[in-house]
Homo-oligomer: A and B are copies of this chain.
């Protein structure tokens, strides 16, 4: 029998990569990255490339650049002292960590002041995932994660950490009153954990995203507590990704893990947040890990040298966070209003096309049900629809990119200008209603929404078809002013 490892090595040696390097190079792009790469090759621009790809797939908040620009160009930002250009604490500049601790204490509603010594600053939450994977797990170890979930976590935990996801599949069907579509329960966590154990996968962690990506909903405090207790029972670490913590745009109460008076297992509970989403600064590359576990901080700090942030950027963001008056009176209220208006516009437009969405409260996207537009209820049909939309120069994100177990769901980002949202709806309309073949049922009537029909209490449910809110058709959407 041929030795596969030596065959692999021979092929790899030719290219100069190690076996590990070949695995890294050979790992296919996720669908989110693939979509983004297509967009980058032909980006929409109202003036220069109006036929280019509209990007409603990448989760960026483009609604508040005017505010951010105004604040980042104030005189207090123009400060350059030698220490900012020299080596500094790899954990993060102390004054910046202090500012972050104060900020999170206030905005995450912590019962007592957070300790700056528990804060580690890194160049983005990708780096937080990479370092935690390396120090919490050994290669091949697994982490529980409810599906659908932001698919980028797969590569962020695998590339350096070689961890594998253990899915906790959730479905849209609502089985009993008080339940929601894609409802997480402790029973489902238990089932997934035991299945993994049967497969000899050592599960080391539970990853939760709150506000959820891609669902856009928020974990109730009680469920969070139960999840923490479940993790404690099995000595699992909990990695709590709250990157959208301050992008809650309705009146739902958001509960941060940092707000609990006590945690079942504080040494295994780790929080992450960053500037990318809540401040619309994906390009600034700053993420934060908060953990009380001294040993884990020590290990992560060894790796932090690979994930450092520029001194001047740490200074600028310290100033930024410290301006509470501006944050409280200008930025957050305006951002919330704009998010809500943009979300309404997209949801209304989708409703006009017969596309229901899950009721959402936080994040920058909605989770939309395109099942009736699939030729068959398969992922092949989902990806086929995705490509057809790309042909129409519209990028949205298929459920497969989120490891969803139910084909036909798509994530659409709404945090962009009204003009672009309208064009998104127009392109969707063209593709779905003008170009789809006759096998697709007529979907002009909102009463046909499958998900809406399965929900018992429309006023409290998590599926919002927005039908009753649609007072104007798509042709009038452009008149809605967001800002």
Contacts and interface: CB of A to CB of B under 8 A. Distances in A.
A265 to B, nearest CB: 9
Contact of A299 (B24, B160, B286): B24
A235 interface: yes
A170 interface: no
A130 B20 CA distance: 13
Nearest to A162: B20
B296 A284 contact: no
Contact of A306 (B58, B84, B235, B307): B307
Contacts of A312: 283-284, 313
Given A13-B235, A159-B302, A295-B15, A283 B20 contact: no
A293 interface: yes
B299 A134 contact: no
Q: Is the interface of A mostly helix, strand, loop or mixed?
A: helix
A202 to B, nearest CB: 9
Interface stretch (A86-94, A95-103, A248-256, A333-341): A86-94
* Residue among A16, A19, A130, A204 with most chain B CB within 10 A: A16
Copies in the complex: 2
A69 interface: yes
A121 B193 CA distance: 40
Interface residues of A, number: 76
A474 B65 CA distance: 57
Given A16-B268, A313-B313, A24 B302 contact: yes
Nearest to A72: B80
Contact of A310 (B15, B24, B285): B285
A136 B21 contact: yes
Given A80-B72, A82-B65, A160-B160, A135 B283 contact: no
B159 A16 contact: no
A77 B299 CA distance: 37
Contacts of A69: 80
Given A89-B40, A282-B87, A283-B311, A136 B18 contact: yes
Interface in A166-204: 204
A173 B123 CA distance: 45
A324 interface: no
A284 to B, nearest CB: 5
A221 to B, nearest CB: 24
Interface of A: 13, 15-22, 24-25, 27, 36, 40, 58, 60, 62, 65, 68-69, 72-73, 78, 80, 82-89, 123-124, 126-127, 130, 134-139, 141, 155-156, 159-160, 204, 235, 237, 267-268, 280-286, 293, 295-296, 298-299, 302-303, 305-313
